[in-house]
Amino acid sequence: MNLSWISVISIKTIVRVIILPLPQMSEKPLLLETSGGMLPLSYVMDEDKVYLMESGNSARWPSFCLRRRQVDFEIDGVRKSGVVSLVVKEDERRDVIERFLLKYGSDYFSKFFSEGSRIICIDPKAAFHPSDNSYYEWLEEEFDSVADSYDTHIFGNRVNLLLRKRSLETLRNYLKRGDCILEIGCGTGAETIELLRDGYEICAVDISSRMLENLRRKAQSEGLAEKLTLRKMRASELSFLRKEMGGDSFDLCYSTYGALNCEPELEKLPYEISVLLKQNGYFVAGVYNRFCISEILCYSISMKFNRLFWRLGNPIPEGRSRFCIDVYAFSFGEFSNLFEQHFEALDVRGVPVLLPPSNFKLPISLMERRFGKLENIDKALSGVWPLNLLGDHFIVVMANRKKRLRE
């Protein structure tokens, strides 16, 4: 485990130990009230604020807290209630980690936590305001929290890298010199930077301000910023972009492997995208599929039969979706039906169809030596029916129906 933060923080910790007495390790844990009962957790405090750290990626309580936005807990027999938020700011995270090290020691910290652990703040004094946007707030916080490590997640996994290669190949098949592109859910720009290098102008939108800032820095470092426009918004807020830029502003719009499956109001998109696109424009979507044959095979081999049909429920709750938030899966038929009034589907391909999804790390590692050949076979079969409808994701290319109406 990388403990670079710990080595940096340790100097501060030594200084603070001289000033502050180390708390007794016999101190009782915080008891967090969850749907499964009272959960004991390690904690630190800063005045009235309580901070908790996630121990391992399988912990479900952080998402429980972030969904509810207000939780009940108990410290030393005293019951309290507080408003929940995800700690994203770097200086605040460092301070919390320092407090955990001071209270529990580096051995305990190294055993149960890491520098990348999610940190939850519970503020008993904050006013709780129930919101209809709680899902979007949770979504924004989660993506803000992983923005700095997102490139490692994409480029450090062979299957995730394959997804981006396939989407770029598809996009380049439908782009021509001088085109202007709209990207929905750009993240840190896995495809954006490549297309900027190709010379295209791009307007990229994302719900996460930290994702956008990381993309901005990358574009600036390569001298590509002049061709990039960034807007912070969720996918269902494209009407604001339409009002700002007007119709017929883009030659191609794409959204791959994320934003569309995180959007509970997807029905708002087809009209807005159609208006924003020119009459000969294309929409390319990479969508988390409801039916994945390789996942079913992997779970069957590992005898995890209870997971075979997790994708059939919508939304798929965090913990079952393999993502850090709830997501919505779509079959090709369901997705194309949503868009059929404004778009005509031209092509659909599974990605990948035979290779396992990115979360099956053991099978992927066993394929390492032959991965290139298997990738080529997978690509050759990606457009063959019915495999094109049974991939982990599918990429669909759609033509704007405005083209036909105006002809």
The DSSP annotation for 159-184 comes to HHHHHHHHHHHHHHHT--TT-EEEEE
pLDDT at 12: 46
120 and 165 share one domain = no
The predicted structure's pLDDT at residue 5? 44
pLDDT at 19 over 50: no
Q: Pairing state of beta strands 119-123 and 49-53?
A: antiparallel
Same domain, 187 and 275: yes
Give the mean model confidence (pLDDT) for residues 254-278. 96
pLDDT score recorded for residue 149? 85
- For the stretch 277-329, pLDDT in tens is 999 999 999 999 999 999 999 999 999 999 999 999 889 988 788 887 889 99
**Residue 268's pLDDT is what?**
96
The backbone torsions φ and ψ at residue 36, rounded to the nearest 5 degrees and listed phi first, read -100, 10
Judged by average pLDDT, the poorest of 34-38, 44-48, 58-62 is 58-62
Q: Is the pLDDT of residue 21 over 90?
A: no
Q: Are strands 180-184 and 201-206 parallel, antiparallel or unpaired?
A: parallel
**Mean pLDDT in residue range 387-404:** 90
pLDDT category of residue 140 using cuts at 50, 70 and 90 = very high
What one-character DSSP code corresponds to residue 252? E
Residue 6 confidence class, pLDDT cut points 50, 70, 90? very low
For residue 403, the model assigns a pLDDT of: 52
Res. 14 pLDDT band, cuts 50 70 90 = very low
Q: Are residues 64 and 120 in the same domain?
A: yes
**pLDDT for position 108:** 94
* C-alpha torsion sign, points 210, 215, 218, 221: negative
Q: Is there a domain that residue 142 lies in? A: no
| Distance in Å from the first CA to the final CA of the chain | 61
Average pLDDT over residues 86-102: 94
* pLDDT value of residue 11: 44
C-alpha to C-alpha distance for 78 and 81, rounded to whole angstroms: 10
Task: Please indicate, yes or no, if residue 144 is contained in any of the structural domains.
Answer: no
| Eight-class DSSP state of 190 | T
Per-residue confidence (pLDDT) for residue 34, from 0 to 100: 92
At a CB cut-off of 8 Å and minimum separation 6, what does 38 contact? 31, 32, 74
pLDDT tier, 26 (very low <50, low <70, confident <90, very high otherwise): low
Mean pLDDT, rounded, for 341-347: 97
Do 21 and 66 belong to one domain? yes
The upper half-sphere exposure of residue 184, i.e. CA atoms within 13 Å in the direction of its Cβ, equals 31
Q: Is residue 137 part of a domain?
A: no
CATH classification of the domain holding 369:
3.40.50.150
CA atoms within 13 A on the CB side of 325: 23
Determine the 3-state secondary structure of 347 from DSSP: strand
Are 91 and 168 contained in the same domain?
no
Tell me what the mean pLDDT of segment 238-260 comes to: 96
pLDDT value of residue 88: 87
pTM for this predicted structure: 0.85
- Please tell me whether residues 50 and 159 are part of one structural domain: no
| E-strand stretches of 257-342 | 277-288
Domain-embedded: residue 290: yes
Dist CA 181 CA 62 (whole Å): 36
Q: Are residues 244 and 384 in the same domain?
A: yes
Q: For 187-226, how does the pLDDT look when each residue is reduced to its tens digit (9 = 90+)?
A: 999 999 999 999 999 999 999 999 999 999 999 999 999 9
User: Which residue, of 100, 130, 160, is where some domain finishes?
Assistant: 130
Q: Are residues 100 and 236 in the same domain?
A: no
Q: Is residue 140 part of a domain?
A: no
Q: Identify the domain boundary among 84, 99, 130.
A: 130
> Does the pLDDT at position 27 exceed 80?
no
Contact 295, 359 (CB under 8 A): no
- Span 355-375, mean pLDDT? 95
Range of the domain at 271: 151-406
Q: Which of helix, strand or coil describes residue 311?
A: helix
User: How many Cβ atoms are within 10 Å of 104's Cβ, its own excluded?
Assistant: 20
Q: Are residues 73 and 199 in the same domain?
A: no
Residue 138 falls inside a structural domain = no
Residues 90 and 239 in one domain: no
- Identify whether residues 289 and 187 lie together within a single domain: yes
Number of domains the chain is built from: 2
Position 284 in a domain: yes
Among 104-108, 261-265, 318-322, the least confident range: 318-322
Q: Which amino acid, residue 256? A: T
Mean pLDDT of 251-269: 96
Q: Given this model, what pLDDT does residue 226 score?
A: 97
Mean of the per-residue pLDDT values of the chain: 90
**Is residue 361 domain-shared with residue 239, that is, in the same domain?**
yes
What pLDDT is recorded for position 216? 98
pLDDT at 172 over 70: yes
Domain membership of residue 146 (yes or no) is: no
